[in-house]
Amino acid sequence: MVRPSSFGRGSPRSRAALLGATALTALPLCIPLGLPLIADPGSTAVGASAARVIAPLAVAREEDLDFGTIALDLNGSGTVTVMPLGGSVRYGGSAQGICLLACPPPHPARFAVRGEPLRSYRVTVPPSLTITPPGLGSGNAVLIDALTIGTASQRIGDSGELSPDGIDSFEVGGTLHLPAGAAEGRYTAQVPVIVSYM
């Protein structure tokens, strides 16, 4: 004989059991709904900016480029080349150096450089220039080209490096071209020299 269950549909125990079951099965559905919603705050960082100011370059002229006293054969042309770092001199064509005790020997231009220790620098000179005796027109100008740079720190080349004390020096040589019939006189010209950090 089948007895009616004591947990019948209308009994209090049956209702409690059903309510308990309902609560247990509904619990997983309630957990996600109960979690707080958090927006992604992102990520932040702080950078920095910096600058370093170094000592400016200073250049001082110590000697000018001098090709010495030169003689040419009658109706002859010639060249004079003065090299930096040692000042060796080469004569070409009919040019020849004549220098007694009263005249200075040929020599390159010399410059002293001061700036930030152990920094590299570059020297820039024009590829060529012309020089004219005072009181004479531009038709008597002569050409200087092949301007060559030599630094004490790097020898031949247009770049140098300042010492731990922030000093160096460089010299500038070149080639003077004298045409036939060049006018007598003292030829002079300004040679622009630019020195900059590398």
pLDDT, tens only, 108-139: 999 999 999 999 999 999 999 998 887 777 77
The pTM of this model reads 0.74
CATH number of residue 135's parent domain: 2.60.40
| 69 inside domain | yes
| 79 inside domain | yes
Domain count, the chain: 1
| 170 inside domain | yes
| 15 inside domain | no
| 20 inside domain | no
How many other CB atoms are found less than 10 A from the CB of residue 13? 11
pLDDT at position 43 is 85
| 23 inside domain | no
- Contact 171/149 with Cβ under 8 angstroms? yes
For the stretch 86-108, pLDDT in tens is 889 999 999 999 876 778 889 99
Identify each DSSP E strand in 51-188 by its residue range: 58-63, 70-71, 78-82, 89-93, 96-97, 109-114, 120-124, 128-131, 142-151, 155-156, 159-161, 167-178
pLDDT of the chain, 198 residues: tens digit per residue: 444 444 444 444 444 343 333 333 344 444 444 445 566 667 889 999 999 899 999 999 999 999 999 999 988 999 999 999 988 999 999 999 987 677 888 999 999 999 999 999 999 999 999 988 877 777 778 999 999 999 999 988 999 999 999 999 999 999 999 999 888 888 888 889 999 999
| 51 inside domain | no
- Residue 117 lies in domain: 58-197
| 47 inside domain | no
- Contact 173/108 with Cβ under 8 angstroms? yes
